[in-house]
């Protein structure tokens, strides 16, 4: 019933529209330059469905039979043509993705093109039927088709667009403005098409309708445009048919007059629809842009948009609130500046070099960068940089999404430090034993030296031998302390060219005493390539793997088990370190989870489950792999693979050439600042044979001497002291004696505070680690004096 009702209503509306068009038929009573029925059929079938085509056929045939041809055959042919143009038009519109809202310029262009082409079906059928039936001659075919086609096209553009748009849900209107605009259009239209003005004044009056149509299109969109077009078309057609307006000519009759009117209506309709569609598209684009801006502004991650400049550089054009909060800068401070200024270290690090390469190649980048906060602090960020391309495929912008991971990285650093200390703690008893042995014979030999010296000149040779033995014990203690400092060091991210074997040896020394009660320790050193890495971080990996190996072997049968450490290179040239044991091994289910954080098979209180997870993270941060293979009851093998460093330019420092005639260096004045009096005096006794030495245990006293004008050629200063620290001494010298600040050598027992670690990373001065070997101290003094006092 609903379909039948729709078909009856469509047929009735079409019949009325056809009757109105036939009233103005100028050729054979059938071809009319005014044919609103095409708009009704095209819009009706598009909105209701092509299946309603019988309504168009019946109404068209009946209207032509009753009011035009009087011939059933001609009426049926014209009915077929009118139906065919509507069906073809709807199929074309749907094929081309047309939207009945006419809110896109492409919809206006498609609708106009379809109106121009689909009407040819009706024109062809109607013109030929009139000629073949004898109602028109063959000489009139051209003018008949022309009039028929223009009438149908204008009916589609004016009436069809109005029906399609006005059938949409009604938006919130601005009634007073709409009524005022409609009144203006009607008033100007009546003035233009009802008055008796003659050309060219009459044409000038008509042009006043154009700004009103633009007003309707821009202020009220497509709905306003089609209403404006309907009012203009209705008034202009009525006035011209009534014999008024610029398109009426008494000399030429109504045929040519209405064709000029059609041109006017075509321009008005197309312009109005196109402006309304452009305005709708612009409004939609603004709405989408506003939505995008609100969405980006509300994203918790920092968003930074850069414009790619012609010279290949970048310029910030947008930053959301989250990014501004992340770096402490306001939007106005960020826009227009280069993003390079936000990065700490510029393009010097490997990550920054990858970022620069990605920008240069127009590709994506994912990594971690360090940015500078406005207050000078560091912000660690995980960043994803993606290129934005224009229609031609050229990169014009880059969008960077930043996630602040500073707190996460600080927590990870604490976990790594805790796990490292836990590993060292596991070996504490063995380390204590390793220190006790050389300490014992150090004490015994020093006591023996004292006894030998009491014997007078006869005991000097024995005293010298005992001193050599004592020196050997002190050196062994120094090496153990150095290994401990490597594994417990906080500032372990600075990377350098490393010998893998030299990284493995300290870990073996630390773990050897704990391994021996459980298994034989087998060392198999090969020739691995150098790697670029952090000594303390990679040392932690080796130590953790050794601790895991010894914990997998029970105590009591060392002759049955072994822990083997092998170094070398794999088939691809990477450095290889393999730690294997003959312990209990792992089941496949356990092996699948060993790298999961906090997963452990050890009893509560004996393991955190972080050791292997941290090892994997450290190895991956060095660009390597950590592999494992294991079998229950057969043991486990962990393999560390690290990429070889690009060390083609790395060269050992050349040995200094011996001069033909050795010349003794001049004596210099050296200031020693150390809060440990015995250490300061020991250094004084070592240096005094070659230089003049002044000693103080307080940094403030040393600075007072400098202010008083005392001259020093070199300063040896402890880094961490109570009161005035070595950092304070350096800052004061930089301000008041910058040339002496350049000749300052620090002696450090370890950087234990964050401020000290940051200072150590930033200062260019030489830093000696305690305990300092005598020959290293003297060589450093000679080198510093030679380089700073050369002029």
pLDDT tier at 79, thresholds 50, 70, 90: very high
Q: List the one residue out of 181, 401, 380 whose CA is nearest residue 306.
A: 401
| Token digits of residue 489 | 């060091």
- CA dist 582 and 735 (Å) reads 62
pLDDT of residue 440: 64
pLDDT of residue 426: 56
Share of the chain above pLDDT 70, in %: 83
pLDDT of residue 603: 55
Tell me which residue has tokens 């490597």. 486
pLDDT of residue 650: 40
Report the pLDDT averaged over residues 575-594: 88
Report the pLDDT averaged over residues 521-536: 89
Measure the CA dihedral 565/570/575/578, to 10°. -20
Judged against a pLDDT cut of 60, whether residue 554 lies above it is answered with: yes
Report the pLDDT averaged over residues 765-780: 86
- CA dist 664 and 691 (Å) reads 12
Judged against a pLDDT cut of 90, whether residue 92 lies above it is answered with: yes
- For residues 574 and 557, the answer to whether their CB atoms sit within 8 Å is no
pLDDT of residue 487: 55
| Token digits of residue 721 | 């002291």
Q: List the one residue out of 550, 579, 549 whose CA is nearest residue 564.
A: 579
Bridge partner list, 767: 746
| Token digits of residue 425 | 């703690």
Write the pLDDT tens digit of every residue in 698-744: 999 999 999 998 999 999 999 888 889 999 999 999 999 999 998 89
pLDDT of residue 16: 93
Which residues, including other chains, have CB under 8 Å from residue 549's CB and lie 6 or more apart? 515, 563, 579, 580, 581, 583, 636, 638
Q: How many CA atoms lie within 13 A of 136 on its CB side?
A: 23
Which residues, including other chains, have CB under 8 Å from residue 516's CB and lie 6 or more apart? 558
Judged against a pLDDT cut of 70, whether residue 260 lies above it is answered with: yes
Write the pLDDT tens digit of every residue in 455-509: 777 777 777 777 776 776 677 677 667 666 655 555 445 678 889 998 888 888 7
Mean pLDDT is lowest, of 256-260, 310-314, 470-474, for: 256-260
Judged against a pLDDT cut of 70, whether residue 83 lies above it is answered with: yes
| Token digits of residue 126 | 């109607």
Write the pLDDT tens digit of every residue in 94-139: 999 898 888 888 888 999 999 999 999 999 998 888 888 888 788 8
- CA dist 436 and 19 (Å) reads 119
Write the pLDDT tens digit of every residue in 141-176: 888 888 889 889 989 988 988 899 888 776 656 778
Q: List the one residue out of 212, 206, 205, 226 whose CA is nearest residue 184.
A: 212
Report the pLDDT averaged over residues 271-276: 84
pLDDT tier at 431, thresholds 50, 70, 90: low
Mean pLDDT is lowest, of 3-7, 50-54, 450-454, 767-771, for: 450-454
Write the pLDDT tens digit of every residue in 678-704: 888 888 888 888 889 999 999 999 999
What's the distance, CA 278 to chain centroid? 33
Mean pLDDT is lowest, of 17-26, 195-204, 642-651, for: 195-204
- For residues 569 and 645, the answer to whether their CB atoms sit within 8 Å is no
Compare 600 and 519 and report the one with higher pLDDT: 519
| Token digits of residue 46 | 């598009």
pLDDT of residue 350: 67
Bridge partner list, 382: 368, 403
pLDDT of residue 784: 86
In 3-state terms, what secondary structure has residue 308? strand
pLDDT of residue 196: 58
pLDDT of residue 344: 63
pLDDT of residue 253: 46
pLDDT of residue 730: 93
Measure the CA dihedral 240/243/245/251, to 10°. 110
- For residues 387 and 293, the answer to whether their CB atoms sit within 8 Å is no
Q: List the one residue out of 772, 263, 723 whose CA is nearest residue 474.
A: 772
pLDDT of residue 758: 79
Judged against a pLDDT cut of 50, whether residue 791 lies above it is answered with: no
pLDDT of residue 556: 79
What structural domains does the chain harbor?
A: 1-168 (1.10.1760.20), 172-291 (no CATH), 299-404 (3.30.450.20), 414-642 (3.30.565.10), 669-788 (3.40.50.2300)
Q: How many CB atoms lie within 10 A of CB 330?
A: 11
- CA dist 627 and 685 (Å) reads 53
- CA dist 471 and 494 (Å) reads 32
- CA dist 713 and 665 (Å) reads 13
- CA dist 503 and 545 (Å) reads 13
Write the pLDDT tens digit of every residue in 648-679: 334 443 444 444 344 556 788 999 999 888 88
Judged against a pLDDT cut of 50, whether residue 618 lies above it is answered with: yes
Report the pLDDT averaged over residues 534-544: 82
What distance, in Å, lies between the first and last C-alpha atoms of the chain?
109
| Token digits of residue 100 | 């009945």
- CA dist 710 and 693 (Å) reads 13
Report the pLDDT averaged over residues 69-75: 83
In 3-state terms, what secondary structure has residue 199? coil
- For residues 162 and 223, the answer to whether their CB atoms sit within 8 Å is no
């Amino acid at each position: 019933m609903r379909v039948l009702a729709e078909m009856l209503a469509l047929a009735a509306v079409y019949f009325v529209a056809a009757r109105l068009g036939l009233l103005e038929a100028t050729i054979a009573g059938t071809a009319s330059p005014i044919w609103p029925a095409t708009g009704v059929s095209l819009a009706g079938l598009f909105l209701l469905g092509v299946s309603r085509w019988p309504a168009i056929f019946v109404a068209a045939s009946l209207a032509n039979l009753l009011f035009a041809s009087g011939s059933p055959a001609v009426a049926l042919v014209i009915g077929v043509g009118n139906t065919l143009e509507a069906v073809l038009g709807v199929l074309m519109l749907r094929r081309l993705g047309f939207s009945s809202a006419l809110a896109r310029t492409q919809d206006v262009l498609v609708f106009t093109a379809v109106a121009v082409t689909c009407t040819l079906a009706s024109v062809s059928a109607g013109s030929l039927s009139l000629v073949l039936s004898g109602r028109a001659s063959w000489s009139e075919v051209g003018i008949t088709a022309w009039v028929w086609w223009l009438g149908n096209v204008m009916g589609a553009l004016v009436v069809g667009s109005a029906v399609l748009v006005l059938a949409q849900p009604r938006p919130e209107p601005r009634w007073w403005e709409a009524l005022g605009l409609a009144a203006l259009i009607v008033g100007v239209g009546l003035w233009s098409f009802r008055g008796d003005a003659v050309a060219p004044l009459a044409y000038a009056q008509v042009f006043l309708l154009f700004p009103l149509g633009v007003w309707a299109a821009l202020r009220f969109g497509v709905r306003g445009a089609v209403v404006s077009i309907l009012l203009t078309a209705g008034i202009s057609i009525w006035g011209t048919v009534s014999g008024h307006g610029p398109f009426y000519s008494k000399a030429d009759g109504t045929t040519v007059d209405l064709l000029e009117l059609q041109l006017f209506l075509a321009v008005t309709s197309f312009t109005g629809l196109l402006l309304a569609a452009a305005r709708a598209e612009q409004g939609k684009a603004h709405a989408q842009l506003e939505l995008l801006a609100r969405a980006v502004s509300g994203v918790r991650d920092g968003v930074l948009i850069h414009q790619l400049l012609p010279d290949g550089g970048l310029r910030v054009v947008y930053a959301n609130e989250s990014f501004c909060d992340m770096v402490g800068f306001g939007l106005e401070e960020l826009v227009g500046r280069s993003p390079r200024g936000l990065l700490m270290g510029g393009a010097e690090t490997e990550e920054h070099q990858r970022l620069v390469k990605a920008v240069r190649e127009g590709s994506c980048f994912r990594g971690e960068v360090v940015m500078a906060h406005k207050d000078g602090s560091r912000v660690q960020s995980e960043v994803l940089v993606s290129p934005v391309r224009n229609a031609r495929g050229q990169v014009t912008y880059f969008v960077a999404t930043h996630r602040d991971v500073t707190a996460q990285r600080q927590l990870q650093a604490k976990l790594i430090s805790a796990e490292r200390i836990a590993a060292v703690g596991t070996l504490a008893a063995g380390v204590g034993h390793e220190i006790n042995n050389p300490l014992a014979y150090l004490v015994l030999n020093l006591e023996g030296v004292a006894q030998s010296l009491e014997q007078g000149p006869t005991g000097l040779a024995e005293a010298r031998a005992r001193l050599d033995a004592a020196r050997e014990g002190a050196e062994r203690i120094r090496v153990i302390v150095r290994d401990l400092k490597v594994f417990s060091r906080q500032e372990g991210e600075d990377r350098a060219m490393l010998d893998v074997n030299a990284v493995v040896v300290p870990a073996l020394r630390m773990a050897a005493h704990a391994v021996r009660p459980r298994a034989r320790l087998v060392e198999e050193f090969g020739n691995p390539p150098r790697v670029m890495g952090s000594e303390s971080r990679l040392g932690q990996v080796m130590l953790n793997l050794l601790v895991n190996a010894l914990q997998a072997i029970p105590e009591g049968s060392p002759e049955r088990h072994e822990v083997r450490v092998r170094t070398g290179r794999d088939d691809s040239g990477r450095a290889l370190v393999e730690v294997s044991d003959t312990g209990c091994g792992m089941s496949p289910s356990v092996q699948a989870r060993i790298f999961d954080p906090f997963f452990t098979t050890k009893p509560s209180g004996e393991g955190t489950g972080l050791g292997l997870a941290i090892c994997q993270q450290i190895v991956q941060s060095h660009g390597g792999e950590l592999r494992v293979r294991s079998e229950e009851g057969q043991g486990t093998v962990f393999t560390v693979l690290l990429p070889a460093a690009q060390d083609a330019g790395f060269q050992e420092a050349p040995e200094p050439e011996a001069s033909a005639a050795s010349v003794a260096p001049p004596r210099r004045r050296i200031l020693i600042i150390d809060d440990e009096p015995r250490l300061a005096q020991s250094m004084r006794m070592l240096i005094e044979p070659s230089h003049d030495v002044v000693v103080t245990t307080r940094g403030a006293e040393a600075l007072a001497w400098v202010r008083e004008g005392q001259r020093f050629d070199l300063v040896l200063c402890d880094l961490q002291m109570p009161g005035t620290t070595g950092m304070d001494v350096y800052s004061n010298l930089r301000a008041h004696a910058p040339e002496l600040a350049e000749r300052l050598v620090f002696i450090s027992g370890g950087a234990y505070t964050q401020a000290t670690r940051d200072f150590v990373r930033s200062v260019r001065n030489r830093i000696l680690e305690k305990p300092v070997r005598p020959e290293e101290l003297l060589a450093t003094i000679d080198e510093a004096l030679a380089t700073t006092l050369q002029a």
